[in-house]
Amino acid sequence: MTWPHDVTRLERVRALMAEHDLDALVVRAPDNVLYLTNFWGMKGYDACVFPREGEPVLITIEASEEDAARAAWTTDVRLIRGYAADDPRPVPARTLDAALAASRDYERIGLELSMGTQASDRMVGEPTTFTKGWFDAWPEARDATAVLNPARAIKSSQEIERIRLANEIAAAAMEHLRGELRPGIKESEAAALWLGFVHGEGTGWRGMVELALGFSLVWSGAGIRTFTATGDRPVAADEPTLFEIWVCADGYWCDHTKLLCPGEPSARYRELETALLDVYRRAIDHCRPGASLAELDVLIRDGLAAVGYPGQPSHPVCHGVGARAHEPPYAHQAGGGEIAEGMVLAIEPGCYWDGGGGLRVEDNFLITSDGAQQLSRFPDGIVLCR
């Protein structure tokens, strides 16, 4: 789908560029190229030169000419060769040549000098990174993330619509799994069922999504723990199976953790669910414009400690979602920052038992003047399979 030119977000970027006295941004991370041009590249060979005044330049490979003509907001698209018989260098070297040419008239340049993560290109499995030569090419460059992070933290109405699409697909895939999950199938099979729905049904979703991709971690029963891969453990009959899931819909993401149970979970799980959801709901109520991000982290961790889980969880409990699944702002008790209207936040408290097992809940919330609006229609807590 071709989205209309999002003037709101680009004006926000330019206002921040003026505050930081930058003449142009030169970006190459796929999520920043998407954010500034609406073009989501195939292989991460792309770049954008985005001036404070004037027309941006999109740089991409010749094979993407048709995609760029259809999707990109800028009309200045400069094509580089994916294979050059006279040039053995990797493709990003030619991207650099084109970016230097496009930025030569600007004095104060901003580069992505301190990004913690970047989203992937449309091919996903092999993210493209740029060599030291890219960063050395603009020796006086300043850090563009000081502009891009606050700009991206507040979503435009178009961005919210696109994030809603990713949330819809994720919820529909979970509803599909609710009728398919059976005891004894492997965690990996459960993950494949979810992933297959996301890619198969999400691509073309409501005529508004060209490409939907899913990413998941699936753990069942005693397999529930943090930072472990999906395995071949069988789905438990009367214990929850946890789905840690992301959907990317044309470059915009959602990040959820949902729970399914084929059977009736034990009293121990129901007790943990009640305590966890109480903390979760208090965290959601906290999320209003002007509220402290540091206090949100404290609220969740103190709440979990009060019900017997001190020091948990071992992962962050809140982060932004947009053109990456994890992006600023982050809630941390030793940090700062305030929640603002227009942010989309993932809130994700969790409790884990020694030896395996436990629960996590997570959804995405749009911050409005009235508080936090949940973006997924799939329920939180333990949902029984049909």
pTM, 2 dp:
0.97
d(CA 186, CA 178): 15
In one letter, which amino acid is 59? I
Share of the chain above pLDDT 70, in %: 100
Residue found under tokens 């208090």? 282
d(CA 219, CA 259): 10
Mean pLDDT of the chain: 97
Residue range(s) of every CATH 3.40.350.10 domain in the chain: 7-152
Tens of pLDDT along 326-385?
Answer: 999 999 999 999 999 999 999 999 999 999 999 999 999 999 999 999 999 999 999 999
Check the CA dihedral 146-291-314-278 and report its sign. negative
Q: Does the domain formed by 7-152 have CATH 3.40.350.10?
A: yes
Taking the C-alpha atoms of 68, 138, 330 and 245 in order, what is their torsion angle to the nearest 10 degrees?
40
Give residues with Cβ within 8 angstroms of 270, minimum separation 6: 382
pLDDT above 80 for 1: no
The candidate with the shortest Cα–Cα distance to 344, out of 370, 323, 361, 358, is: 323
The candidate with the shortest Cα–Cα distance to 287, out of 258, 315, 319, 311, is: 319
Say if residues 258 and 233 touch (Cβ distance below 8 Å): no
Task: Write down the pLDDT at residue 368.
Answer: 98
Residue range(s) of every CATH 3.90.230.10 domain in the chain: 157-384
CATH number, domain 157-384: 3.90.230.10
Task: Write down the pLDDT at residue 64.
Answer: 97
d(CA 221, CA 258): 14
